[in-house]
Amino acid sequence: MRKSRLIAGIATALVAASTLAACGSGGGSGTDDGTLTFMFRGGDDEKKAYQEAIDRFTEDTGVKVKMIVTSADQYAQKLQAAVAGNKVPDVFYIEQASLQSYVSSGVLMDITDQVAEQGVDLDNIWPYGVDSYRFDGTTQGTPGGKLYGLPKDIGPFAFGYNADLLEKAGVERPDPDEPLTWDEWLKICKKLTQDTDGDGETDQWGTGLNVQWNSQSFVWSNGGDWTNEDHTQVTVDTPEFAEAIQFIADLTEQGVTPNPEQAQTLDTYQRFMAGEIGFFPVGPWDMSVYNDLDFEYDLMPWPVGRTGEPATWVGSLGIGVSNTTDLPEDAVKLATYLSTDEAAQQTLVDANVQIPNRIDTAQEWAAEVEEDDSLKPRNRQEFLDIAEDYGREMPASFTYGAEWYDELWVGIQPVLDGKQKAADYLAEVQPRMQELLDQSNAQAEQAAAAGSAP
C-alpha cells in the first residue's frame, strides 16, 4: 500500500517533469494534422469577415485553418511571446516596422519564389503594399528586395468632412480635385466654429486634429520631412517642418478646434461622429462606422501647404509566413489567398474595413458610386488617389524600431498648449531623435550581420 503510493508519487512527479520538458522543447509550429494556424488581430467586424474568407479557403483547398485572434494593442506582445516560446503561427500579421527584426531573426520566410509559383499578378496589387514587405538586407520598401509578406491591406489616410454641417453653415462642398490651401481651409474652419445653442460656449468646431496622426500631412505638404531619403539624418528642425507644427498648434489658439480639456472629455473622433466637427480624417477602416452616421460625410484632398501638393500617409499591415512552418506550401497559399484572391478580398471590402488590394477591383469599387446613389462615401476615388499618387509610408515604417520617432511626441504638449514655439521645441528635440536614429541604424546593421552569420 505504502509502496504503491510512493510509486504513484514518483510517477506524478515524472509526468509533471516531462510535461514541462515537452513545453520547453516543443519546436516547430502549427499542428501535425495538416491544420494551419493563422494569428491576426482586429475587431468583431474584421473577425467575421476573415472567418468567412477562411471558410471559403478551406472549402477551395481542403486545408483547415485554426484562427488565433487578439486585440490590436496586445498583438505585438503575443506574437513576440509565441516566437520566444517556439510556437510561431504558420501565417500571421506582421507590422511594417517590425519586418526587419523578424527577418533578421529568421522568423519570416522568404516567399518570393512561392508567391510567383502561385501565379499571382503582383502588378495588380498596390505597389506600395507589396513593396512594404520587400527587404534586400539593408533597405526595406524597395522593389528589388525579397518578399517576406503580402499586404493584408493598405490604409490610405484621407481627409473628410461632415457635408450636412458645411451645408448648414452655407459653405460649398470642397472640390475633390482642387485642394484647399491652409488659409482657405482655416477660414472655413472659423466659419464652422459656432455656439449653436446660444449658451455662450462653443459647441461646434471647424476641426479637431491629433498631432501624432495628422501632422504628417501638414509637414509633408509644406516640404518638410522627418528624415532624409536614406533615414540617416533627422530633419525635424527645418523651417518648413516647424511652420507646419506651429500651424496645427495654433488651431487651438484660433479656437477652431476643441481645447485640450474639451477634447479629453469627449475626444474629437467621438465629437465628429456626434456631428460637432466639420473636418476630420477618414481611414478606410472608419467606413464601417461612418457609413451608419446620421449625417453625410465625404472625402477630400488634405489642405495644402507651401508645395501646393496634398500629402498623407498610407498604413499597411502584412501577412507573413513562418520560417519554421511544417506546411510551407499551404501557408503561402493562405497568405496569398487572403491578400490577393478576388472573392476573399470582396468579403473584406463588403465589410467596409478596407479598400480592395487588387487595383482593378479597387477601380471598380470606386466607380460603383456612379451607378448607385446610396453608396458611401461618394468620393471613394480619394482613397485610390492617395494610394497611387500622394500617399507615403509613416516616417518610422521602414526604420529598425520607432523609438526615435516616438521621441518627438513625448514633449510636444507645451507646443500644443501655446507655451513653447514649435521651432524652439524642434531644435531641442532633434539631437535626441538623431541619437536614437543612429542607435536604431546601428542595431539594424548588427542584426543583419548576426542574421547572416550562421
Q: Which residues bind other proteins (CB under 8 A)?
A: 2, 6, 9-10, 13, 20, 76-77, 80, 83-84, 98, 101-102, 104-107, 260-262, 264-265, 401-403, 409-411, 413-414, 443, 446-447, 450-451, 454
Which C-beta is closer to other proteins: that of 164 or that of 203? 203
Which C-beta is closer to other proteins: that of 107 or that of 166? 107
3 state SS of 401: coil
Tell the smallest beta-carbon distance from residue 265 to other proteins (Å). 4
Closest CA to 357 of 48, 92, 124, 46: 124
Which C-beta is closer to other proteins: that of 175 or that of 428? 428
Which C-beta is closer to other proteins: that of 62 or that of 454? 454
Tell the smallest beta-carbon distance from residue 382 to other proteins (Å). 30
Helices (H), 132-223: 163-168, 182-192, 211-221
Distances (CA, A) of 116 to 36, 317, 328, 361: 21, 21, 14, 20
User: Which stretches of 11-111 are assigned E, i.e. beta strand?
Assistant: 36-41, 65-70, 91-95
Nearest-10 Cα torsion for 396, 398, 399, 405: 0
User: Which stretches of 142-287 are assigned E, i.e. beta strand?
Assistant: 146-147, 150-156, 158-162, 205-207, 277-282
Tell the smallest beta-carbon distance from residue 259 to other proteins (Å). 9
Tell the smallest beta-carbon distance from residue 17 to other proteins (Å). 8
Which C-beta is closer to other proteins: that of 182 or that of 400? 400
Which C-beta is closer to other proteins: that of 89 or that of 224? 89
Tell the smallest beta-carbon distance from residue 294 to other proteins (Å). 25
Closest CA to 337 of 56, 92, 148: 56
Which C-beta is closer to other proteins: that of 101 or that of 363? 101
Residue type, 185: W
Distances (CA, A) of 71 to 76, 99, 250: 10, 20, 35
Tell the smallest beta-carbon distance from residue 262 to other proteins (Å). 6
User: Which stretches of 177-311 are assigned E, i.e. beta strand?
Assistant: 205-207, 277-282, 297-300
Residue 123 grid cell: 502588378
Tell the smallest beta-carbon distance from residue 341 to other proteins (Å). 30
